[in-house]
Chains A and B, each alone.
Chain A
Amino acid sequence: MPPMPVRTDDAPLPAPDPRIARAVAGDREALERLLLEHLPRIRNLVRYLLRGDSEVDDVAQQAMIEIIRSLPSYSGEGSFKAWLDRIAARSAFHHIRRRRLERKGGDDGAPELLLVAAEGEAPDNYSLRREAVRWLDELPHEQRHAVVLHHVLGFSVPELADELRLPSETVRSRLRLGMDKLRQRWGREKKP
């Protein structure tokens, strides 16, 4: 299981959200609004990393608890979203590790209903993302995590290698294998 990578953003950052300071100072309403605003992103990231839907809310909730507890330590110097992402991903990795210990392999969530667009109707973004994440569900964890950290969170190969403490070649190999499988899967889906 990879440790949680740490990333920084080079892009200029907007001024810190004033709700962060208010939340740290104990303003519950500010904290609630902040969490409500970011919950969808947290849940999405957790879903990218977890196989299946059944435990997404558990892990998102745990991530929010960690966020609340860690909020006073947020320096405001980096992107708040990147900071949240880091905590959410760490929570997901921690959960996966625990699950592996408990189940020694395992689970993969209950089957779910597939979303099917009506005939002649273009599938919306939600349907497309749900479809893509189901393909991710078919990858081994290692490949999945490399793909998500690289393609979703934007880590470069050297950064991934550094953070995962793996040779660059191993990272590239995982990425290549993972993306090849996803493309194959995608190709099959596109065939009439």
Chain B
Amino acid sequence: MSARDPSSEGDELALRLRLDAQAGPAQRISKDRARELVAAAMASARGAEVEAQAPSRAQTSGHWRMSVAAAALLAAFVSGASASLWVWGQRSSAPVTTAAPTRLPASAPRAAVQPPTEPPTRTSEPAPAIPAPSPRRAEVQADDLLERANRLRAEGAFLQARDAYAQVVRRDPSSLSAYAAQVAAGSLELEHLGHPEAARRLFERALRSRPSGALSLEIYQGLAASYAALGHERDEQRTLERLVAAYPDTHAAQRAEARLEALARRR
């Protein structure tokens, strides 16, 4: 095949439909914004590696190995690039016209997000009294906590990591870090601590908080695996069907379809 040269059409219109690295038709963005997008993508991809290196004490059944990849990944770059992932996670409907990453305004309804969190870790005492931080400060703190939690998880300190994830959610429940922490904690409960019911609740909360969030695929996988571990085949089936519908071209969908066939044969 040879690429067709639009100019051979003798059509000025076709000349406008060129694909190259020049400006347009995508909106112009600044170099900083481009760097943020690239950094966020690299951090996301790197998250999978972080996950692959994490030790696993209790493997859950079979068809799913949670990649909190995407969650761990959120920690991997919390400092600089979280802003762009914030945009990514929010899927803002507003066009991105500014160079700087967009954050929720300070007046965003943080209180509307469900409270933390899961599970009430090993202490039952109330959360330490934390002076109400400014929204921006809270985000930074939540990012730092998430990074720490992921580090603990990677080191195999799972109980401490669980506490740290819970802290992230308490600190700034509406943040992207809290969303990621819930997903990461869900995988921790499922994969390493053997608590599928706690995992299920965490995944469901994360999904409710951002139904089209950046970690939806991981959530569906985790939910399905939690249901499987709990023996809730109907729920597992429904979750896998949602995964396949939402992410049809992925390896995860292929695995989900194989699992669905196995479930169907069982009946």
Contact = CB atoms under 8 A, between A and B. Distances in A.
A8 interface: yes
Interface string A105-130: 00101101100000000000111111
Contacts of B38: 32, 35-36, 39, 64
Contact of B248 (A31, A61, A94, A154): A94
A58 B25 contact: no
A151 B19 CA distance: 9
A159 B3 CA distance: 11
15 contacts: A10-B1, A53-B95, A54-B93, A55-B91, A58-B91, A85-B19, A97-B248, A110-B93, A125-B24, A130-B25, A132-B17, A148-B17, A151-B9, A154-B2, A179-B13
A130 B24 contact: yes
Contacts of A165: none
B92 interface: yes
Interface of A: 7-11, 28, 31-32, 35-41, 43-48, 52-58, 60-61, 64-65, 67-69, 85, 90, 94, 97-98, 101-102, 107, 109-110, 112-113, 125-133, 147-148, 150-156, 159, 179, 182-183, 186
B64 interface: no
- In this complex, the interface size class of chain B, counting residues with CB under 8 Å from chain A, is 35 or more
A105 B266 CA distance: 36
Of listed B12, B13, B29, B92, residue having the most chain A CB within 10 A: B13
A182 B13 contact: yes
Interface residues of A, dominant DSSP:
helix
Nearest 6 interchain pairs by C-beta: A129-B24, A154-B3, A133-B25, A64-B41, A68-B45, A43-B26
A10 B84 CA distance: 38
Nearest to A36: B38
A101 B87 CA distance: 22
Contact of A65 (B21, B26, B44): B44
B263 interface: no
B41 A45 contact: no
B245 A154 contact: no
B113 interface: no
A28 B88 CA distance: 22
A57 B37 CA distance: 8
A186 B96 contact: no
B267 interface: no
Contact of B24 (A44, A94, A179, A182): A44
Contact of A39 (B6, B23, B34, B45): B34
A126 B249 contact: no
A90 B249 CA distance: 9
Contacts of A94: 247-249
B34 A36 contact: yes
A110 B94 contact: yes
Contact of B45 (A69, A107, A112): A69
Contact of A112 (B17, B42, B95): B95
Nearest to B3: A154
B22 interface: yes
B4 interface: yes
B1 A154 contact: yes
A126 B23 contact: yes
B16 interface: yes
B18 A129 contact: yes
B223 interface: no
Interface string B20-48: 11111111110000110111111011001
B88 A58 contact: yes
A40 B13 contact: no
B14 A151 contact: yes
A61 B40 contact: yes
